[in-house]
Amino acid sequence: MRPLTYRFDPLMTDQASTSDADLIAQIAQQNSTALSTLYDRYSRVMYFVAYKKLGTVEEAEEVVLDVFAQVWRIAERYDPRKGRVDS
């Protein structure tokens, strides 16, 4: 699995305790550090589920990257009243 590349950000330590909904709100404001934090939280689980269903490393990696690309594109549409990020 290929991790997202990111620069050191002194705010990253603050991001670790930020709620998922708050991270999505920050992603909607084009905050790449928030996306990296969300990726760190969920990419591993997503990868294993995708790999189990699809059976290949390449397809599982592609699914994970596609999901996070979609999060980046449509984060402003997220409504925490309609569901949790980890659902």
pLDDT tens digits, the chain, 87 residues: what are they? 555 554 545 445 567 789 999 999 999 999 999 999 999 999 999 999 999 999 999 999 999 999 999 999 999 999 989 999 888
Please give the Cα distance from 44 to 29 (Å, whole number). 25
pLDDT at 10: 47
pLDDT at 36: 97
User: Measuring CA to CA, which residue among 60, 13, 64 is closest to residue 37?
Assistant: 13
DSSP H helices in 1-87:
12-15, 20-28, 32-54, 57-74
pLDDT at 86: 86
